[in-house]
Structure 1
Amino acid sequence: MRGLWSEFKAFALGGNMLDLALGFIIGTAFATLVDSLAGDVIMQFVAAIFRQPDFTQLAVTLNGSEIRYGAFLTVLVNFLLLALVLFGLVKLLKKIGLGNFRAQGSHECPYCKEFVPIDAVKCKWCTADIEPGQAEDEDLKLVADRQRTAE
């Protein structure tokens, strides 16, 4: 039982778990901040233009079913604002050189058919040299052919 407790403690207090927990907490607080910006500032300007202070009440009734498109519009605006703010933050961090932003996605190794990160130059499974950023099947076939002729 003592070994299990020490394993759990190492897991729960390990660097990755704490980073994840702190990132989640900060992300939640940031989302609340952007939600307030959207609802309390930007949506108020939109409401002043359309003379409608609250879009959540906008709805259409079809055959007794209420379609609340106003609530959806409010959530959509909140989402778009959050995405825009996060995009701007990432662009700013890249520009000033902070953060380690790598290419996202993966592609299949032409040799072992396992998936590796899109910017990998060596397959972590079979250790073959591969060219990064080639996600199309035709491109992977060309890479495989070049590798075979080079050997």
Structure 2
Amino acid sequence: MVGVQGVRVGRQHVDLALGFIIGTAFATLVDSLANDVIMQFVAAVFGQPDFSALKFVLNDSEIRYGAFLTAMVNFLLLGAVLFALVKLLRKAGLGSFRAQGSRECPYCKEFVPVDALKCKWCTADIEPAQAEEEDAPLIADRTRTGE
């Protein structure tokens, strides 16, 4: 694909741009959830919708710890929503959430994926560096037959 001023734009770049745009919109949505819904519950309990006004003075310096608390609550909410979304997508079977990266096979010293159960080069059984939930029966069966 050719983009602006004849620069070649690959599918990866378009996917990355779309991911960035959707991520920004999603962050705005979660920020609205935090400010317009959750923090309003905080206002109902504590009497103010955010903690931005909380501060103390130390040696003529104003320490605004309330703004930090508000930002931390927003960050934790964003993390919780993203965690729940990934769990939901994984349970629905959507997306590719396999471990990324490689490691060295302890037997033949070739590189294999971090979640590999068997080396693709020497076919030796290896312990995965990052085991997935669906691999647990295979690993348990391997240890039972090895005894």
DSSP 3-state at the match of 2:52: helix
Cα drift, residue 69 of structure 1:
1.1
**Does the CA-based 8 Å contact 2:99-2:114 persist in structure 1?**
yes
Aligned partner of 1:61 in structure 2 is 57
- Counterparts in 2 of 1:63 and 1:112: CA distance versus 1, 3 Å: farther
Match of 1:41 among 37, 42, 45: 37
**Does the CA-based 8 Å contact 1:104-1:117 persist in structure 2?**
yes
Cα drift, residue 104 of structure 1:
4.9
**Does the CA-based 8 Å contact 1:60-1:66 persist in structure 2?**
yes
- Counterparts in 2 of 1:19 and 1:47: CA distance versus 1, 3 Å: same
Structure 1 segments unaligned to the other structure (5+ residues): 136-151
DSSP 3-state at the match of 2:62: strand
Aligned partner of 2:27 in structure 1 is 31
Q: Does 1:17 align with 2:9?
A: no
Map 1:128-147 → 2, pairs under 5 A: 131-134=126-129
**Does the CA-based 8 Å contact 2:42-2:50 persist in structure 1?**
no
Q: Using the alignment, how far apart are the partners of 1:117 and 1:47 within structure 2? A: 49
Cα drift, residue 122 of structure 1:
3.9
Match of 1:50 among 35, 46, 49: 46
DSSP 3-state at the match of 2:38: helix
Aligned partner of 1:98 in structure 2 is 94
Cα drift, residue 66 of structure 1:
1.8
Q: Using the alignment, how far apart are the partners of 1:113 and 1:75 within structure 2? A: 46
Over aligned residue pairs, what C-alpha RMSD do you find?
2.5
Q: Using the alignment, how far apart are the partners of 1:70 and 1:117 within structure 2? A: 45
Cα drift, residue 109 of structure 1:
4.4
Q: Using the alignment, how far apart are the partners of 1:53 and 1:35 within structure 2? A: 14
Q: Percent identity?
A: 64
Letter in 2 for 1:133: P
Structure 2 segments unaligned to the other structure (5+ residues): 131-147
Letter in 1 for 2:37: V
Q: Deviations over 1:75-112 (max 9, x none)?
A: 11111111111111111111111111112565454465
Pairs aligned (count): 123
Q: Using the alignment, how far apart are the partners of 1:97 and 1:17 within structure 2? A: 25
Which has the bigger relative contact order, CA under 8 A and spacing at least 6? 1
